[in-house]
Amino acid sequence: MRPIRFTVIGVTFYLFLYTLAPVLSPAYILMFILFLVGNTLLLYMIYIVLKHGKAPKEKWNDGYWYSDINKKYSENA
């Protein structure tokens, strides 16, 4: 879980800084390079999460919509 956490935090922080960059009025070529780097990092983050992530034990078809809470939604009341 460790490589996923640092990758997600790092890429999210980079993309946050990228969204703030236009305030500084950088050159077009710099923004284009930052855009390409951001997309590459985003694809890398998706790859890391899919490869090293843990699949939840609960299944969508069994009525568990979210794996971070312990509640079954599709029960008949």
pLDDT digits (tens, 9 = 90+) for 11-53: 999 999 999 999 999 999 999 999 999 999 999 999 999 998 8
The structure tokens listed for 72 are 């079954």
Packing angle between helix 28-52 and helix 2-20, nearest 10 degrees? 160
What is the pTM assigned to this prediction?
A: 0.70
The structure tokens listed for 49 are 């999460």
